[in-house]
Chain A
Amino acid sequence: MLHIKPILVALKRHKAGTILIAMQIALTLAIVCNALFIIDQRLDRIARPTGLDESNLVIIRNRWVGVTDEATGPLIHGDVQALRQLPGVQDAISINSYPLAGGGWSTGVRVNVDDKKSKAHTTLYFSDEHMLPTMGARLIAGRNFTPDEVTDAKANAVDTPAVIIITKALAHDLFPDGSALGKSVYVSDTKKPSTIVGIVERMQVPWNSSWADAWAENAVFQPYVLMYSGNVLLIRTKPGQQDAVMKSAPEMLFKLNRMRVFPKENGVRTFANQRESIYKRDRGMAILMGVVCLVLLGITAAGIVGLTSFWVGQRRKQIGVRRALGATKRDILSYFLTENLLIGTVGVLIGALMAIGMNLWLVTQFEMARLSLAYVAIGVVALLLLGQGAVLAPAMRASRVQPVEATRSV
Chain B
Amino acid sequence: MLKMTHLSKVYRTEVVETYALRDFNINVNEGEFVAVTGPSGSGKTTFLTIAGLLETFTGGQYHLDGVEVSNLNDNERSRIRNEKIGFIFQAFNLIPDLNVFDNVEVPLRYRGMKAPERKQRIMDALERVGLASRAKHYPAELSGGQQQRVAIARALAGSPRLLLADEPTGNLDTQMARGVMELLEEIHREGATIVMVTHDPELAARAQRNVHIIDGQVVDLAEDPRFHHAVHAARANSPA
| Interface set of A (CB-CB < 8 Å, partner B) | 2-3, 6, 9-10, 13-14, 317-318, 321-331, 402-404, 406-407, 409
Contact = CB atoms under 8 A, between A and B. Distances in A.
Given A403-B54, A407-B166, A324 B87 contact: yes
Interface in B51-72: 52-55
Given A6-B102, A9-B98, A325 B81 contact: yes
A6 B87 contact: no
Contacts of A403: 53-55, 78, 81
Given A403-B54, A404-B54, A407-B54, A327 B87 contact: no
Contacts, number: 89
Interface stretch (B33-41, B105-113, B180-188, B200-208): B105-113
Nearest to B83: A326
B16 to A, nearest CB: 18
Contact of A322 (B75, B83, B106): B106
Contacts of A321: 89, 93, 95
B79 interface: yes
Contacts of B89: 321, 406-407
A403 B54 CA distance: 5
A368 B152 CA distance: 64
Given A328-B78, A403-B55, A13 B97 contact: yes
B107 A326 contact: yes
A14 B78 contact: no
B74 A329 contact: yes
Nearest to B110: A326
A323 B93 CA distance: 12
Contact of B154 (A9, A325, A404): A325
13 contacts: A6-B98, A6-B109, A9-B98, A318-B96, A321-B89, A322-B95, A328-B74, A329-B74, A331-B78, A404-B54, A406-B54, A406-B89, A407-B54
B195 interface: no
A404 B54 CA distance: 5
A39 B70 CA distance: 59
Interface string B76-118: 0011011100010111010111110010011101111000000
A404 B46 CA distance: 9
A317 B93 contact: yes
A407 B45 contact: yes
A10 B99 CA distance: 9
Contacts of B105: 6
CB-CB nearest 9 A-B residue pairs: A326-B82, A10-B97, A325-B107, A326-B110, A403-B54, A404-B55, A13-B97, A404-B54, A328-B78
B156 interface: no
A326 B93 contact: no
B111 to A, nearest CB: 7
Nearest to B74: A329
B159 interface: no
B25 interface: no
B148 to A, nearest CB: 14
A10 B54 CA distance: 25
A409 B89 CA distance: 10
Contact of B106 (A317, A325, A409): A325
Nearest to A409: B91
A330 B110 CA distance: 11
Contacts of A328: 74-75, 78-79, 110
A352 B91 CA distance: 45
B153 interface: no
Contacts of B91: 409
B112 to A, nearest CB: 7
Contacts of B110: 322, 325-328, 331
B131 interface: no
A404 B51 CA distance: 11
A10 B49 CA distance: 27
A324 B81 contact: yes
A8 to B, nearest CB: 11
Nearest to B52: A324
A325 B98 contact: no
Contacts of A329: 74-75, 78
Contacts of A323: 54, 78, 81
Given A9-B98, A321-B93, 18 more contacts: A6-B98, A9-B102, A317-B93, A318-B93, A321-B95, A325-B87, A325-B110, A326-B81, A326-B82, A328-B74, A402-B55, A403-B78, A404-B54, A404-B55, A406-B54, A407-B54, A409-B90, A409-B91
